[in-house]
């Protein structure tokens, strides 16, 4: 998958659109990327996409002061007469009203302008659409501390490449690769956020699992307060491409062992999503034969006046179910019990169900 293809998926496309909307509203924007995204060139591609959509000028690397190169990128170098504080001069320069420049922390030291830009923008007193804005790509090691954890303001927004690739993106990425719906569901769970071109790649997650926080290893649901940015204790692992936010949970990179406990849990989770509604279809089909016979022999329904699979199985011989229906009921009950107790169903059991009702 190319970076262009990745940015066509709903999650990454929305990330770009939100950053552009911030710039359009007059705010400068910090885009925070993990180091693997910077090393792979993905961060550059995302920043370029935002800059192109927002009409920002990208600042080239060079020996001159960064503020001078910003003026050059804006085609104003011939007018540039900086004083003792070049960043103050840029924020207040009438020639740059309503314009935007894009810089990258992995190419230039951006700590000074990023730390001061909110105050400089406020001091300039301009209307939102008249402000000179900065679009800054930031690596975690290049700019640590308060600038990254600032609360949203009228002048600066911070957006993390965290939870950008979500379930819908993975579903679309894998669509059409396997016509079997259960195999597709399992592939989605195992792949999660680690799409080709969107992650570090080549990492043995199984070997590194013991170094991850417990909440990550156990795929805990992510608190809402950490949906916009990874919490500080997880950032070093996120920076290495070992963990992401996916489907509302902390998700580590997929374990290498296909028979390990983590893969078993992922297989179970995929089956629960797909098979629980499917098992209800089986229950209703079996109930069509079971219910008239149960009423004939005077057998009461289960808890809550609902015949569950286990209830019907317990009364199956008493009401005189056919052998075929009884075997069908047994398989459906066993599959449901496995899923209800956190165990993935055996493939042969699922195949027996699929012979009765196509999946």
Question: pLDDT band at 8, cuts 50/70/90?
Answer: very high
102: nearest Cα among 47, 156, 21, 38: 47
pLDDT, residue 199, reads 64
Sequential DSSP letters for 117-135? HHHHHHHHT--GGGS-EEE
- Extract the tokens encoding 12: 């990454």
Is the pLDDT at 1 greater than 60, yes or no?
A: yes
Helical (H) or strand (E) element with 20 = helix 10-24
Q: For strands 133-139 and 100-104, give the pairing.
A: parallel
Residues whose CB falls within 8 Å of the CB of residue 265, separated by 6 or more in sequence, listed in order: 219, 342
pLDDT at 23: 97
pLDDT reading at 304 higher than 80? no
CA 123 to chain centre: 37
Looking at residue 300, its pLDDT comes to 73
Q: Write the CA distances from 278 to 53, 353, 356, 358, integer angstroms.
A: 44, 9, 11, 9
**What pLDDT score does 160 carry?**
96
pLDDT tens-place string over residues 254-290: 765 566 788 899 999 999 999 999 999 999 999 999 9
**Mean pLDDT of all residues in 80-86:** 94
CB 25 within 8 A of CB 35: no
- What structural domains and CATH numbers belong to the chain? 3-160 (3.40.50), 167-252 (no CATH), 276-356 (no CATH)
Q: What is the DSSP letter of 266?
A: H
**146: exposed, middle or buried (C-beta count within 10 Å: 0-12, 13-18, 19+)?**
exposed
Q: Are strands 249-252 and 243-246 parallel, antiparallel or unpaired?
A: antiparallel
List the single range of 84-93, 123-132, 197-206, 308-317 with lowest mean pLDDT.
197-206
Q: How confident is the model over 348-355, as a mean pLDDT?
A: 93
| Mean pLDDT along residues 335-340 | 95
Name the nearest CA neighbour of 192 among 168, 216, 227. Answer: 168
Q: What is residue 164's predicted lDDT score, i.e. its pLDDT?
A: 97
In 3D space, the residue among 197, 175, 194, 193 whose CA is nearest the CA of residue 184 turns out to be: 175
């Amino acid at each position: 998958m190319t970076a262009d293809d990745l940015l066509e998926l709903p999650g990454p496309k929305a990330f770009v659109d939100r950053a552009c909307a911030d710039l359009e509203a007059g705010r400068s924007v910090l885009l925070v990327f993990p180091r693997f995204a910077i090393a792979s060139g993905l961060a550059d591609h995302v920043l370029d996409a935002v800059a192109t959509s927002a009409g920002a000028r990208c600042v080239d690397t060079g020996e001159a002061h960064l503020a001078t190169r910003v003026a050059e990128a804006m085609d104003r170098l011939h007018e540039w007469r900086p004083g003792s504080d070049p960043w103050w001069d840029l924020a207040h320069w009438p020639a740059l009203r309503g314009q935007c420049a894009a810089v990258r922390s992995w190419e230039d030291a951006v700590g000074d302008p990023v730390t001061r830009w909110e105050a400089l923008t406020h001091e300039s007193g301009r209307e939102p659409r008249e402000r000179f804005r900065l679009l800054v790509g930031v690596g975690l090691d290049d700019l640590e501390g308060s600038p990254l954890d600032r609360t949203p303001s009228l002048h600066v927004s911070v957006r993390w490449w965290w939870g950008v690739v979500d379930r819908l993106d993975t579903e679309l990425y894998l669509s059409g690769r396997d016509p079997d719906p259960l195999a597709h569901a399992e592939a989605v769970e195992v792949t999660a956020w680690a799409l080709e071109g969107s992650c570090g790649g080549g990492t043995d997650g199984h070997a590194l699992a013991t170094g991850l926080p417990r909440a990550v290893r156990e795929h805990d649901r992510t608190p809402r307060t950490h949906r916009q940015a990874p919490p500080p204790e997880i950032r070093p692992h996120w920076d290495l491409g070992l963990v992401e936010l996916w489907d509302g949970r902390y998700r580590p990179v997929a374990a290498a062992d296909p028979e390990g406990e983590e893969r078993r849990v992922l297989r179970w989770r995929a089956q629960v999503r797909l098979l629980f509604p499917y098992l209800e279809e089986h229950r209703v089909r079996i109930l069509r034969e079971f219910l008239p016979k149960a009423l004939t022999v005077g057998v009461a329904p289960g808890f809550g006046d609902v015949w569950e699979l286990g209830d019907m199985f317990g009364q199956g011989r008493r009401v005189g179910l056919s052998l075929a229906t009884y075997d069908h009921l047994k398989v459906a009950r066993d599959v449901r019990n496995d899923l209800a107790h956190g165990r993935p169903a055996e493939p042969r059991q699922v195949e027996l169900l699929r012979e009765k009702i196509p999946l």
